[in-house]
Structure 1
Amino acid sequence: MKEKKNLLIIIGVMAIIILAMAIYIVFSKSKEDSGKSFSENTTEAVTEADTEEVKETEAASEESADKTEAEDEEDSIEKEASDSKENDKKLACSVTVSDDGNWQDGDKFVYQYKIRIDNKSKEDVSDWKVVISGFKGGEIGDNWNGTYKISGDNLTITSVDYNETIPQGGNIEMGLQVKYKNSSDTEKAATLYVGGEEYTELKEEPTTQSAEEKAESKKEKIEPESGTPLENHGKLSIDGTDVVDKDGKPYQLKGVSTHGLAWFPEYVNKDSFQTLRDDWGANLIRLAMYTGESGGYCQDGDKSKLKGLVDDGVEYATELGMYVIIDWHILSDNNPSINQDEAVAFFDEMSAKYVDYDNVLYEICNEPNGSTSWSDVKEYAEAIIPVIRANDKDAIIIVGTPTWSQDVDLAAEDPIKGQDNIAYTTHFYAATHKDNIRNKVKTAHDKGLCVFISEFSICDASGNGAIDYDSAEDWFDLIDEYNLSYAGWSLCNKNETSALIDSGCSKTSGWSDDDLSDAGKWLKNQIETDD
C-alpha cells in the first residue's frame, strides 16, 4: 500500500515536471514569436521611416531643384531686362530725318526734308557725314546748311565750312528739297559716319517717368476768374519782355492753335472754343491760315471761304471774351516775301475790319524756313507792320524768325526799330528742340525781346513720334519763369501725335479726357494748373 502510494507520488511529480516543461516550451515559443513579431514590426517601421525620410529627402531635393530653377529663371529675366536696357540705349550722337512737307511744281513732285544731328556725347564731333537711303530717282533742289549729293539710292550730306564741328551738347540742322518725276513715299533710313567710320558710341536715354509723375502731381487747378479774360484784362500791349494787360500787369496768354483752316474747318465753332475756355482754362485761340500748301490761301484755296472762317473764329472768340491770333501761316512757301502782295492785301483788310476789337493779335509769318535769313524776314515785316498800323495803331504784332521760327536770337541782334507792341516767335517741338533752342530764347529775353511761343508740341518736329515729357517740363519751367505766352498745336483729330483730339473721336466740342490724345491731356493739364 505504501509502495502504491509512493508510485502515485512519483507519477504526480513526473506529471508536474512534464507540465512545467510543456509550459516552458510554449512560453518560450510565444516569446520567440513575440520577439520575431516585434523585430518584424520594428523592421517595417524602420523601413517606412526610411522611406519617408527618402521621400522627404527627394522632396527637399526637388524643392531645391525648383528653387534653383526659379533662381536661374529670375537671373535669366534680370539678364533679359539688362539686355533690354542695353537695347534701349541710343547713339550719343544721332541723326534724324523729318518730312517737312511736299507739293507739286509743274510736272515735278517736290519733297522737303529736315535733317538734324544731335551731339550728346562728351566731346566735340568733327569730320562727319550722313548717308540716307530712299532717294533713288531724286533731283536735289534748294538746300541749306550742308553739301548734298545723290548717288543711286543714297543721299550723302557733308558739312559746309561753318558746321564742320558739332560741339558737345549741341546740334546742327540742315534741309533740302528733292524733286521727283512721280510721287514718292519711300521710307528714309539715316546713318551717321564720323572719321569715315559708322558712329556707334552709345548713351543712356534719360527716363521720362519723373516728368510724367511731376505732370500727374499737378492736381490743384487754378480757380477761374469771374468774368471773361477780355473783360478782366482788356486790350493787351507789350512792356519790355512781357505781355501786359490794361492795368500794366504781366499777363500770360495760354491756349490752342487750330490746324489749317482749309483742312479742319469743323473745329472753328463757338462750342469748341467755349470748351477750351471753360474746361481747360484757355484764354487764347490761334487761327492758322496756311498760305502756300494745296488748299492754302495763296495757292488754290477758296479765299472767301477761308476769310469767312477767320471771321467766324474772331467773332466766337470775342463773344467768349477770349483773345485770338490771326496767323499768316508761312510754311512750304519758305520766304514770306514770296506772297508779300497777298499778305499786304490780307492784313490791310483784317486790321481795318478788327480795328475796334481789343482781343485781336496779328501773326504775320508763321515759320520762315529754308534759306530765308533774318534780314529777309525783317524786310518783309517792315513792309507789313505799317499796313496794319495804318488801321490799328497798337495791336500786338507777332513776327516769325528764321529756321521754322527757332532763331529768335538772330532777331535779338537786329530787332525791328521804331515800332511798339512787337513780339517775336519761337516754335518748339519738345522731343526735337531742347537746350539749344531754349538757350536762344534766353539770349533773346536777356536782350530785351518779348518772345511769344505761338506754336509748340511735346513730340518731335514732324508733329509725330514719341512724346518727351522731360523736355516739355523743361520748356514750361522756362515759359513760366519768363511769363511767355503760348499756343499748343493743334486743335484737330488728325492721326498724329501733336493732334490734341484722339483720332477716333469725331466730337468737335465738349470733349472728356478720354476724347483727348496724350498730347491733349498733357496740354489741358498744363493750362489748368499753370500759374
Structure 2
Amino acid sequence: MRQRKALLVASALGVVIALQTPAGAKPLATPVSENGQLKVCGKQLCNQQGQPIQLRGMSTHGTQWYAKCVTDGSMDALAGDWRADVLRVSTYVQEGGYQTDPQRFTSLAQKFVDGAHKRGMYAVIDWHMLDPGDPNFNFERAKTFFTAMAKKYKDNPGVLYEIANEPSATSWSRIKSYAEKIIPIIRAQDPDAVVLVGTRAWSSLGVSEGADEKDVVNSPVNASNIMYTFHFYAASHKTEYLDALNRASDKLPIFVTEFGTQDYAGEGANDFAQSQRYIDLMKRKKISWTNWNYSDDNRSGAVFKTGTCNGTNWTGTGVLKEAGVWIRERVRSDS
C-alpha cells in the first residue's frame, strides 16, 4: 500500500510540477515528493526513508468563517513565498461548522487538502472540536467525517489525521477511549497515514488543568503510527509548558499542531522571546509544527492584515501583521 501511494502521488505531483516548470528544466522538489509517506519511528516523525524530519507550516482558521483566506493565490504564497511544508485544514465541528452541514464542510476540507497536495505540501486534516470538550460527544460525526476523508486519501501519502483538536474538562481515559475507537475507522480505509491524538486540557498534555504528560506516558493509546499533540500560546504559556514539551518529547512522539506568539486566545501583544525558546526546542528535537492562523482575523494571531483576504496580494511582508512577518521567517528559515 505504501509503495502504491508513493507511485500515485509521484505521478500526480509530476503532472503539477511539469505544468509549472519550463521545458528542459529540472523539476522542483516539494515536501511530499522529497519525503513521501510519513511514519512514526520511535519518538520522531520520519520520511519514507526512515529519516527524522520536521514539518513547518500554518493552520487555517475555521473554514465556516475564513474560507476566503484559503485561495489559489494564498496557497501559492504559502508553498512558494513562505516555503511551508504543511497546511493544517481546520474543520470546526460546532460554532456554525460541520454539524450544520456535514456534506458542505467535508467538501470544503477536501478542496483545501487537494490545494495543499497540488502544491506538494502535506495536509493535516484537523477535526476541530472545542466545546463540548469530551471528543466522545461528537463520535458519530467524527466517524462519518473521517470515513469520508480516509476513503478519499487512502492512496495519497500527503495526509495526517488530527482526530481531536483540544479536548478539555475530560479525563485522559475518555480521550484515549475515543482515540481507540476512531483510529480503527481511519485505518480501515487508510492503514498507512500518521494519526495525531489530542491531549488533555486543550492539548497541553494536561498542564492547563494541573496535570502533566505522565497520564499519556503511563497509559498510551493502543495503536501504532500515532503522535500526540501539544498546543501553546507563548505569551500565556511560559516555562511550565515549555518544560512539559521538552520532557514529553523525550518519551512520546509529539506534533505541535497549533501555537501562537500571543496569549491563549490568540490576542494581545506578541512574546517573541518566549516563542523563540519554543522554536529552538522544536528545531533541536525535530518537532513538527503549524502556527495559528493563516487568516486576516482582527486578532493579533492572524498573520494577515485585516482585509487582505478580500484582495489578491498574498506575498511578501507588506500584507502581514507583526506576528505574520515573524512566523513567515521561521517557516522559511527555521532560525
TM interval, short-chain normalised:
0.7 to 0.9
Q: Does 1:406 align with 2:207?
A: no
Q: What are structure 1's unaligned runs of at least 5 residues?
A: 1-224
User: Residue 98 of structure 2: SS of its match in structure 1?
Assistant: coil
1:260-339 → structure 2 map (5 Å cutoff): 260-293=62-95, 295-298=96-99, 301-339=100-138
**Equivalent residue number for residue 383 of structure 1:** 181
Equivalent of 1:247 in 38, 44, 49: 49
**Equivalent residue number for residue 220 of structure 2:** 415
Residue type matched to 1:392 in 2?
D
Distance 1:521 1:290 in 2: 26
Q: How many matched pairs?
A: 301
How far is the alpha carbon of 1:508 from its aligned partner? Answer: 5.4
Q: Does 1:258 align with 2:60?
A: yes
Distance 2:313 2:54 in 1: 24
How far is the alpha carbon of 1:268 from its aligned partner? Answer: 2.4
Q: Is the 8 A contact 2:81 2:316 kept in 1?
A: no
User: Residue 90 of structure 2: SS of its match in structure 1?
Assistant: strand
Q: Does 1:517 align with 2:321?
A: yes
Distance 1:274 1:237 in 2: 26
When structure 1 is superposed on structure 2, of 301-310 and 513-522 the one drifting more is: 301-310
Q: Is the 8 A contact 1:269 1:312 kept in 2?
A: no
Residue type matched to 1:386 in 2?
P
Equivalent of 2:304 in 482, 486, 501: 501
User: Residue 88 of structure 2: SS of its match in structure 1?
Assistant: strand
How far is the alpha carbon of 1:429 from its aligned partner? Answer: 0.3
**Equivalent residue number for residue 458 of structure 1:** 261
Distance 2:245 2:312 in 1: 34
Q: Is the 8 A contact 2:91 2:97 kept in 1?
A: yes
**Equivalent residue number for residue 358 of structure 1:** 157
Equivalent of 1:439 in 225, 240, 243: 243
Q: Is the 8 A contact 1:275 1:509 kept in 2?
A: no
Distance 2:331 2:94 in 1: 31
1:69-218 → structure 2 map (5 Å cutoff): none
How far is the alpha carbon of 1:477 from its aligned partner? Answer: 1.3
RMSD of the TM alignment (CA)? 1.4
Residue type matched to 1:376 in 2?
R
**Equivalent residue number for residue 6 of structure 2:** none
- Residues 304 and 508 of structure 1: is their aligned pair in 2 closer, same or farther, counting only changes over 3 Å? farther
Distance 1:413 1:514 in 2: 48
Distance 2:240 2:45 in 1: 24
| 1:292-311 Cα distance to aligned partner (Å, 9 max, x none) | 22x1212xx22222112111
When structure 1 is superposed on structure 2, of 464-473 and 407-416 the one drifting more is: 407-416
Distance 2:45 2:315 in 1: 30
Q: Which runs of 4+ in 1 moved over 6 A?
A: none
Q: Is the 8 A contact 1:331 1:368 kept in 2?
A: yes
Q: Is the 8 A contact 2:232 2:264 kept in 1?
A: yes
How far is the alpha carbon of 1:334 from its aligned partner? Answer: 1.0
Residue type matched to 2:188 in 1?
A
Q: Does 1:349 align with 2:153?
A: no
Distance 2:57 2:135 in 1: 25
Distance 2:87 2:34 in 1: 17
How far is the alpha carbon of 1:315 from its aligned partner? Answer: 1.2
Equivalent of 1:234 in 24, 31, 36: 36
TM-score in terms of structure 2 length:
0.87
Equivalent of 1:489 in 292, 301, 304: 292
Distance 2:280 2:74 in 1: 28
- Residues 451 and 509 of structure 1: is their aligned pair in 2 closer, same or farther, counting only changes over 3 Å? farther
Distance 1:313 1:267 in 2: 11
Q: Is the 8 A contact 2:69 2:296 kept in 1?
A: no
